[in-house]
Structure 1
Amino acid sequence: MRRAAAVAASLALLAAAPAGAATNSNVAAKPPSSQALGEYVTGKPVGGRITLRLFAPDARRVTLFLGNVDPTVTPPATLMRKASNGVWSTTVGPLAPDMYEYYFSVDGYRSIDTGAALQKPQRQANTSLVLVPGSLLDDRDVPHGVVGSVRYHSDALHADRQMYVYTPPGYTPSGDRLPVLYLYHGFMDTSGSWVFEGRLPEILDNLIASGKARPMIVVAPDTETEVPVAEDFPGPRLVPEFFARNALSADAELTHEIIPYVQSHYAVRDDADGRAIAGLSQGGYQTLSSGLGHPGLFHWIGAFSPGPLQAPPNALIEAGLANPARVNATLKDFVLTVGDRDGLVLPATEQFEARLTGLHIRHRYEQAPGHAHEFDLWRADLADLLQRLFRP
């Protein structure tokens, strides 16, 4: 009886509490269940316009930062307005079809959009994503491949690891052996980066359906090996002490474990002409490390805004560059890209490209006008590469 009375008293307190208020000062407020949740969370894009919302009734100032810009540059700021229900909102657009990064500043604290499903895959999440439909990134009515999360043990790293594997529409283990692309993400992101922000499945599904890309398997490993651990290094020490060491660890994992695992678990070709490697930013640096460091293992290399090329000499890259004739004899396509507004890696990429030219190593160099160190460029780079891969 006492328990029933306590429950009744609690319900009475809840009923008396104002909408959106917390009944305990130690409990964060949440939208009232009596109202439609859609009034409190970010809406879907309509005609390129998006109304972004954040429920923060106790906040004094909320600012939206939206845009695909270089990490060295702060995106444009939009001050949001607070309604009587505790919701801060603003409408932006019309925006061109694309995927956009954004975040909120809540009284100076950087926050993801807690009312959105799409978040940037990061080791420490601080950015949300929104897709404005109308491009190759869309989930179209075409046959779809399958993306699986694969766990395995790495003896090289003494750890259990995870990667994503895309298999194309119609793939069966007993079918034709397919070419494979190994695709690396950037610094402080995760193996899900190319899958969710890069839109790899949607891009490749759409290209295969239109006959512009050949069916292939794509493997997206984790570029960060934890040997060493990135978070253990303050900023000034990352370039001189972290990147080259991590690249060697990731290369050992790739050559001794990931490639053999894929060869034994999937119907893939076992020749260099059916094997490619690509990546963005730190993943582009990894691509150059493993792609140039093992001549004859890959016939196709795509390094998108690779960095940091100003890191101490990388033994794998230097070994490849020491034998330009062998590199030329084993690579069918070697593409190097960077945005002409890249505030992180442009100078070092230009210097590296000049070195390739001086060594007479055949390559394609593309400096994209108007682009910074951003996924907007890398998705386009990926779409272009996928259409070139595994052609005679």
Structure 2
Amino acid sequence: MKISITSRRLRLTLFSALITVSAMAQLPQRTPTPNDTLNSPKVLADKRVMIQIYAPKASEVTVGGDFQASPKPLSLTKNEQGVWSILIGPLKPDYYSYTLMVDGVRTMDPKNPVIKQGISSLENMMAVTGPETAFEDNKAVPHGEVREVWYSSNSLGMMRRMHVYTPPGYEKGTAKYPVFYLLHGGGDDDSGWNTIGRSGFILDNLIAAGKAKPMIVVMPNGSMPLPPQTGMPDANTMNRMRDLFASELLKDVMPSVEKNYRTLATPESRAIAGLSMGGFQTLDVTLTHPELFNYVGVFSSGFFGATADEADTKYAKVLNDPSFNKGKKLFWVAIGKDDFVMEANKKTLAMLDKHNIKYQYKESSGGHTWVNWRQYLNEYTPMLFK
């Protein structure tokens, strides 16, 4: 009986397999396309980069990114096989972001899985490596950890996420560490500094070289849940975002960090810095609560538009306090000479000068890009907690 049942099952299995093979044989065979072997982006030996996409029915494809000085997108050329391509560069070794537009539709490079996430968009990333990128590369040194940390925000009535870097050896030790709050810019979220910003690798390399003290780096989400806008936010929106962020940072983020991590919770063991919108938020927190942070960094930022006109009044108490300078071990401002927020930066510095606020100023080449902000992080961090 057992043999009979086994034989029947075997015959049924073979019969089913034959039917499946027969059915598959009758299916139309897929025709290979150039997309099967396409490689994009392709970094050549001379540091030029080939970007390609297979889009045979498209009528126009362009690409833009922080690899170019002009905001005007570049046009790709289509060949007979339907592959659009462009050769850019040679590029200075660094990490870049780029975005394709296919017939006016924002499109990811389907051959490149490395992305940068924002609050409402994605961008591809690419690496052109060389000696210049050593400070931000993934090198064979002791590595810390970057975690996605969820917490309940009472200020916003919702769950929120932040990224937290802990230095090498944190898990196995008992020591307490200084804390650096690192803020991103408009349009990004808390993942920005960890992806295109390369913050974890920059910290790892600095600590391994003995150039920076081991520290905890907190990267909160500075983008507030407000209706999206096109272009730069108006003054009312900027003020609302500023107030919401300050509330969440002081009432939710910092208490959560100091409760759950081994921190040195004193002003001389706290630093804050931010780029663009994050720089604006840094200025606001610093000039509202000067007692919290002894180290301050402002990258490519300032008081924008109408916020610059009200800043002198809003922060008058702190600006006119002669003890402000005594409480700051570092107030560092950096911007690229071609940055579109240079006017806001100059107005902000003029306000600080008017009130005799001491700061260090760096004006680099370039504009409002991550190419500069990674460099600023690499220069600013070694000056902390001295």
TM-score in same-fold range (> 0.5): yes
Give the 3-state SS of the residue equivalent to 1:188 in structure 2.
Answer: coil
Pairs within 5 Å for 1:18-167: 18-20=31-33, 31=35, 35-36=36-37, 39-43=38-42, 46-68=45-67, 73-75=70-72, 77-84=74-81, 86-134=82-130, 135=133, 136-167=135-166
Shift of 1:101: 2.1
2:286 maps to 291
1:116–1:296 Cα change, 3 Å: same
1:302 maps to 297
Shift of 1:42: 2.9
1:208-229 per-residue CA deviation (whole Å, 9 max, x = no partner) reads 1111111111000001121xx1
The one of 325, 336, 339 aligned to 1:328: 325
1:261-285 per-residue CA deviation (whole Å, 9 max, x = no partner) reads 1111111101100000000000000
Distance 1:386 1:40 in 2: 37
8 Å CA contact retained: 1:353, 1:365: no
Distance 2:317 2:194 in 1: 30
Structure number with larger C-alpha Rg: 2
8 Å CA contact retained: 1:49, 1:95: yes
Give the 3-state SS of the residue equivalent to 1:324 in structure 2.
Answer: coil
| Number of equivalences | 367
TM-score when scaled to structure 2? 0.87
1:337 maps to 334
8 Å CA contact retained: 1:320, 1:327: no
Shift of 1:78: 4.2
Query: Is 1:273 the equivalent of 2:268?
Result: yes
Shift of 1:365: 1.8
Shift of 1:41: 3.9
Distance 1:325 1:7 in 2: 85
1:42-69 per-residue CA deviation (whole Å, 9 max, x = no partner) reads 3356452332221222212323334345
1:24 maps to none
The one of 348, 354, 362 aligned to 1:352: 348
Which residue identity lines up with residue 323 of structure 2 in the other structure? R
Give the 3-state SS of the residue equivalent to 2:253 in structure 1.
Answer: helix
1:148-202 per-residue CA deviation (whole Å, 9 max, x = no partner) reads 0000000111010000000011113752111110011100111111110111011
Shift of 1:371: 1.6
Which residue identity lines up with residue 282 of structure 1 in the other structure? M
Structure 2: state its 5+ residue gaps.
1-14
Give the 3-state SS of the residue equivalent to 1:193 in structure 2.
Answer: coil
Distance 1:137 1:310 in 2: 34
1:83-110 per-residue CA deviation (whole Å, 9 max, x = no partner) reads 52x3322333332210112222212323
The one of 20, 26, 34 aligned to 1:12: 26
8 Å CA contact retained: 2:290, 2:318: no
1:95–1:116 Cα change, 3 Å: same
Distance 1:328 1:80 in 2: 57
Which residue identity lines up with residue 237 of structure 2 in the other structure? F
Which residue identity lines up with residue 76 of structure 2 in the other structure? L
TM-score when scaled to structure 1? 0.86
